[in-house]
Amino acid sequence: MSPIGTAAGRSPIAAGERVLVTGGAGFIGSHLCECLLAQGCEVLALDNLSSGHTQNLAPLLSHPRFRFMRADVCASPPPQAEGVQRIFNLACPASPAQYQRMPVQTVLTSALGVWQMLELAQRSGARLLQASTSEVYGDALQHPQREEDWGHVNPLGPRACYDEGKRCAEAMLLAYARQYGTTVRIARLFNTYGPRLQPGDGRVVSNFIRQALQGEDLTLYGDGHQTRSFCYVDDTVRGLWLLMESGHEGPVNLGNPVECSMRELAERVLAITGSRSRLVHRPLPQDDPRRRRPDIARAAQWLGWRPEIGLDEGLARTVAEFRARAGALRSPSGPT
Ligand code: UDP
The pLDDT tens digits along the chain (336 residues) read 444 544 444 455 666 789 999 999 999 999 999 999 999 999 999 999 999 999 999 999 999 999 999 999 999 999 999 999 999 999 999 999 999 999 999 999 999 999 999 999 999 999 999 999 999 999 999 999 999 999 999 999 999 999 999 999 999 999 999 999 999 999 999 999 999 999 999 999 999 999 999 999 999 999 999 999 999 999 999 999 999 999 999 999 999 999 999 999 999 999 999 999 999 999 999 999 999 999 999 999 999 999 999 999 999 999 999 999 988 766 655 443
Phi/psi of residue 322, nearest 5 degrees: -60, -40
- As a whole number of angstroms, the distance between CA 310 and CA 290 comes to 22
Task: Give the residue, by CA position, lying nearest to ligand 1 atom 10.
Answer: 221
pLDDT at 328 (0 to 100): 72
Task: Give the residue, by CA position, lying nearest to ligand 1 atom 5.
Answer: 204
CA 24 – ligand 1 centroid, Å: 24
Task: Compute CA distances 246 → 9, 32, 173, 208, 314, whole Å.
Answer: 11, 17, 17, 36, 26
Phi/psi of residue 117, nearest 5 degrees: -70, -35
Listed in sequence order, the residues at least 6 apart from 210 whose beta carbon sits closer than 8 Å to its beta carbon are 199, 200, 216, 322
Catalytic, 162? Answer: yes
Task: Give the residue, by CA position, lying nearest to ligand 1 atom 12.
Answer: 288
**Ligand 1 touching residue 226 (CB < 6 A):** yes
Parse the chain into domains and list their residue ranges.
Answer: 18-193+231-257+288-308
pLDDT at 331 (0 to 100): 63
Of residues 99, 137, 162, 193, which has the active-site annotation?
162
pLDDT at 14 (0 to 100): 63
pLDDT at 2 (0 to 100): 40
Give the nearest ligand 1 atom to 97 CA. Answer: 19
Fold of 18-193+231-257+288-308: Rossmann fold (3.40.50)
Label residues 101-114 b or e (16+ Cβ within 10 Å = b): eebebbbbbbbebb
Which residue type, as a one-letter code, is found at position 53?
Answer: H
